[in-house]
């Protein structure tokens, strides 16, 4: 069971995403600011868990909102705005990851870790008052991100959307343009891979 059910994209009280889209297309820039506020956190999460780098995530998030804003007049509403902008974010991240992969051969050793993966840019999430716990948590966080980066981008995406963001299989299938069966099978494979590399940190 995913820990959290995905939040509906519309706020309880207030215009729906589609109403905000319509207002934006008519020239109400404040409506687009509202859409940004609604999605910035979730899209940041998706991009960050794919790239593992905050600076890159910030740049990509700007690009995603810019691209979506320019493309809004062509948005036909065949899918929800929520699915549409997630798709843009994932496509942009995939393009970025492909470019980064090509560049890795040209990266200096300072930019790579001992496994040849790009060095991670992790925020400090450890408790400040317990240095031992903090050390362990940091190590765990590093290991977790390394294991995630070893997955293919498609597998990393399903893990991010399902386990971290709590989306349902059906929603992930719509975003990724595949069947629910494919989502489930990718998720199962990714879980097995992660379980293998993170086994020592998991309770038996």
Provide the binding-site residues for another protein, judged by CB under 8 A: 1-3, 33, 36-37, 40-41, 44-45, 48-49, 54, 58, 61-62, 65-66, 69, 99, 102-103, 105-106, 122-123, 125, 140-141, 144-145, 148, 159, 163-164, 188, 191, 194-195, 198, 201-203
Which residue lies nearer to another protein by CB, 57 or 82?
57
- Closest by CA to 51, choosing from 128, 134, 160, is 160
Contacts of 51 (CB under 8 A, 6+ apart): 57, 60, 93, 96, 97, 100
Least CB distance from residue 178 to another protein, whole Å?
20
Query: Phi first, then psi: what are they for 8, rounded to 5°?
Result: -65, 145
Q: How many C-beta atoms lie closer than 10 Å to residue 174's C-beta?
A: 20
Least CB distance from residue 78 to another protein, whole Å?
26
Least CB distance from residue 2 to another protein, whole Å?
8
Q: How far is CA 119 from the centre of its chain?
A: 18
Which residue lies nearer to another protein by CB, 6 or 79?
6
How much helix, strand and coil, in percent to the nearest 5, is found in the chain?
A: 70, 0, 30
Which residue lies nearer to another protein by CB, 21 or 61?
61
Is the CB of residue 92 less than 8 Å from the CB of residue 44?
no
Least CB distance from residue 41 to another protein, whole Å?
6
Least CB distance from residue 74 to another protein, whole Å?
18
* DSSP annotation of 162: I
Which residue lies nearer to another protein by CB, 148 or 172?
148
Contacts of 150 (CB under 8 A, 6+ apart): 117, 193, 197
Which residue lies nearer to another protein by CB, 59 or 79?
59
């Amino acid at each position: 069971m995913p820990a959290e059910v995905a939040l509906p994209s519309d706020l309880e009280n207030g215009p729906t995403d589609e109403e905000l889209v319509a207002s934006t297309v008519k020239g109400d820039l404040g409506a687009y600011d509202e859409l940004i506020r609604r999605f910035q956190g979730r899209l940041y999460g998706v991009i960050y868990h794919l790239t593992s780098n905050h600076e890159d995530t910030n740049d990509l998030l700007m690009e995603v909102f810019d691209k979506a804003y320019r493309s809004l007049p062509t948005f036909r509403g065949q899918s929800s705005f929520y699915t549409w902008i997630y798709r843009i974010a994932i496509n942009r991240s995939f393009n970025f990851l492909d470019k980064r992969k090509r560049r890795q051969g040209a990266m200096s050793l300072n930019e790579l870790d001992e496994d040849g993966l790009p060095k991670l840019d992790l925020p400090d999430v450890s408790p400040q008052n317990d240095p031992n716990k903090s050390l362990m948590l940091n190590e765990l966080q590093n290991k977790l991100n390394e294991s995630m980066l070893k997955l293919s981008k498609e597998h990393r995406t399903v893990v991010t959307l399902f386990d971290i963001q709590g989306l349902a299989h059906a929603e992930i299938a719509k975003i990724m343009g595949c069947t629910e069966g494919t989502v489930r099978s990718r998720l199962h494979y990714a879980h097995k891979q992660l379980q293998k590399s993170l086994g020592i940190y998991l309770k038996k």
